[in-house]
Structures are given as structure tokens and as C-alpha cells.
Amino acid sequence: MTVTLSATLAANEDIERRRRAGERVLHLAFGEAGLPVHPALRERLAAASENNGYGPVAGASGLRIAAAGYWTRRGLITDPELVVCGPGSKSLLYGLLLAIGGDIVLPMPSWVSYAAQADLVGSRPILVPAPPGEGGVADPDLVAAQVRLARAQGRTVRSVLVTLPDNPTGRLATPATVGRLVEVARELDLMIISDEIYRDLLHDPALPYTSPADLAPERTIVTTGLSKSLALGGWRIGVARLPDDGHELRARLLAVASEIWSAPAAPVQEAAAYAFGDPRELTERITRSRRLHGLVARAVLDRFLEIGADVPTPQGGFYLYPDLSHLRLGGSTEITKLLLENHGIGVLPGHAFGDDPAAARMRVAVSLLYGETAQERLTALTSPDPLQLPWIAASLNHLSRGLKELSLVRHGATAAPAPALVPAPCGG
């Protein structure tokens, strides 16, 4: 088995190398929340810094109780004994694949690590497109057909994964699609893994949201963390809600965890327990965050629409998924290479997410446009009009110019030389 560096991490390191070498690169390739840590969380972490014991494999009781409360307040009554904590939801997902076994159905496109982790554990992922205009949930009718076909060929298919809202498309599957998938999962006896790490970052909180666990708590695992909603990616903490009566799965997952990560970091668990309690100062921070993500994502959307790109309007998180196939400049590898090397715009190619390499689709992450320093990012977070801040405006102008130059290549024209620009935050 050949294991390569995650596409998102590899792109981030490549862009950082280019920036250190003096290149001006707009960094739209890395899904980091791009905001400062709330002072209340720093205080909790510091206060718990003397806690240096391993603690329970499932996680500290205080964190499991807080996570159970988090889900219960969102309408999903949760037993703390069926909550398992880990060093990030990414680790939990890997542990779950090992604990469940068999092959897994993934939406296409989907986050780069899903298929890679499946490969690592010896599971063969079945990639199934989402319904038109949606993302994060594979088309239920196609899932049913593909699972039956795979089983007829002797394969063991045990699970299906969804992302609500989605990375890379930024779209949210409709309640009808989620409901139909649940029906298929029951018909075919599939476990559902629902990655809901972007749930609290819906741009419009009034948008109808249905988790598979709302409809099928007996066969749904929900994972989440704090890396997106509270910008704590580097703290590495995640939680999983196991299905009702999921005690056998819990035992298998804890056996895996005990041999891989032992227990999450104790001080981080203390801060996370506070965060999952939904204190007012943190819910206010999340409200400001999703507003900023939505404003900047829509501004970036407009830049792509200006050159005729086909882009689904993002509904959550900080991603867009433009299609530049109309320019006829090649597939996802060729178009992303042109953007980076000729126009200083770093994005991720769609094929990294399991998409058709011949399609010129790419994932665009806007969350590193908010500022170079903690103060700039905090200013963006609290500004009544963040798009007018000089560093964000400069990044958007850089994007507009680069995209227009790219579209001129299609028409055989030559763009005027780019004017000298002051360094923008995050290569923007």
C-alpha cells in the first residue's frame, strides 16, 4: 500500500514554501478556520495545564457529559456513556472504520481523508455522486444499487458516510435526501457515520437541518469537534455519539483507541468540556464566525461567477466548489496548476476529493483570507463590513484579477502585467 501526505496538508506546505520564497500566493487551499482562540478557552486550557494523567480512554466524564448535553440541546437525547472522545474527529473516524469493518459508501466528491483512511484500514470505498445541487450525502437510489451490486460480487459493505454541511461543496443535503438515505440504510442494514463538524457554521441557521441520527438513532454515529466552529484545529479534540444500544461498538472503538491514542490530552478536554456547554460568550463567537464565513464565501462566489464559472452557492462552512470546465483549459490538475503557477491562486483539485479528473472542478477555502495576525482576524470577526477591510479587499482584488487573466487565456488574449501589491494576509 502506498500512503501519501494528505492533499490538503501537502498543498498547505507547498503554498507556505512558495510564500517564504517571496511568491505572492492567495491561500485558498487549506480548511483551517483562520480565527483567533477565544480568551475564555485559553484561560480554561491554562488552568488545566497541570492535568498530566492519561485519563479514561473514552474521555473524561466531564467532557462526555458536556458533549451529551450539546447534542441533547439540538434535539438528540444522548447518553454520556455512548460518547467517545478522541484527539480530533479525524482520529475518531479512523477508529470507527476499524471498529465497524467492511467496505464503506462515500459521497463523491468528499473530504480527502475519508477514502484515504478507508484504504489504510483495507476497506474499499464505493464513491457515489450526490443528487444534483446537493453535497455531502450520496444519492440514496444510487447507493442502494451500488451496495447491492457490490454484495452480489462478494463484497462486505457495512457503512455509509455523510457530511452535513459538506466539505468540499459547502452545500447541505435536504431533509428529504437524508430521509431517503436512512430508508436505504435500514433496508440494507448499513451503519451511518454522520460527520457534522460544520453543523454550527450554517450561514443561515434557519435552514432546515436533519441529521440521520434524528431519524435513525439506532444505526447512526455522529462525529464533531471544535476545529471549525471555534477554530481549535491545533488543539486536536473530537467527540463521537454512538448509536442507541451501541455498547458493543463502543467496546471495539475503545479497544482501537487504547492502542492508537490512549486518551485525548487532559488539559484540552477540560477546555472542550467548557466549550460543549454552549456558554454565551462562545455561542456569540460562533455566530460572528459563521457570519464572516458566509460574507467572504459569497464575495468569493461572485468573483467566480463573473468569469462564467458554475458554482453552487455555499450554505455552510467556508468552502466553495467552482467548475471552470467552460474555459476548456484541461481537467482539475491542469486548471489548479495554472491558477497557482501563473496567477498566484492556490486551490485544491477536485480529483483529490474523488471527483472526475477530467472536470475542471476545485475546492476553494476562504478562511485564510481574514488576516495575517490575530488582531487582523479579530478585526475581521467584529467588523460591520469585513469586505472593506484593506487586507480582505486586496485578497478579493487579487482573486478577481487572477480569474480574469485565466479566462483571457481561453480567448487567446494577453493580460496586462499585474501591478505591485502590498503583501496580503495569508498570501491573499
How does pLDDT run across 105-135, given as a tens digit for each residue? 999 999 999 999 999 999 999 999 999 999 9
Statement: residue 412 has pLDDT above 90: no
Contacts of 130 (CB under 8 A, 6+ apart): 107, 108, 136, 137, 138, 139, 166, 169, 171, 173
CB neighbours of residue 130 within 10 Å: 23
Give CA–CA dist 394/425, Å, rounded: 9
What SS3 class is residue 20?
helix
Average confidence score pLDDT of the chain: 93
What's the pLDDT band for 259 if we cut at 50, 70, 90?
Answer: very high
Structure confidence at residue 416 (pLDDT): 41
Cis peptide before 279 (omega within 30 of 0): no
Copy the grid coordinates of residue 391.
Answer: 487586507
Q: What is residue 3's predicted lDDT score, i.e. its pLDDT?
A: 63
Domain boundaries, the chain: 7-30+281-410, 53-277
Residue 185, helix vs strand vs coil: helix
Could you tell me the fold of the domain covering 7-30+281-410?
Aspartate Aminotransferase, domain 1 (3.90.1150)
Reported confidence tier of residue 420, pLDDT bands at 50, 70, 90? very low
Second-level CATH architecture of 53-277: 3-Layer(aba) Sandwich (3.40)
**Each residue's pLDDT tens digit, 190-221:** 999 999 999 999 999 999 999 999 999 999 99
Instruction: Give the pLDDT of residue 17.
Output: 83
More confident residue, 427 or 321: 321
The confidence score (pLDDT) of residue 12 equals 75
User: Which pLDDT does position 418 carry in this prediction?
Assistant: 40
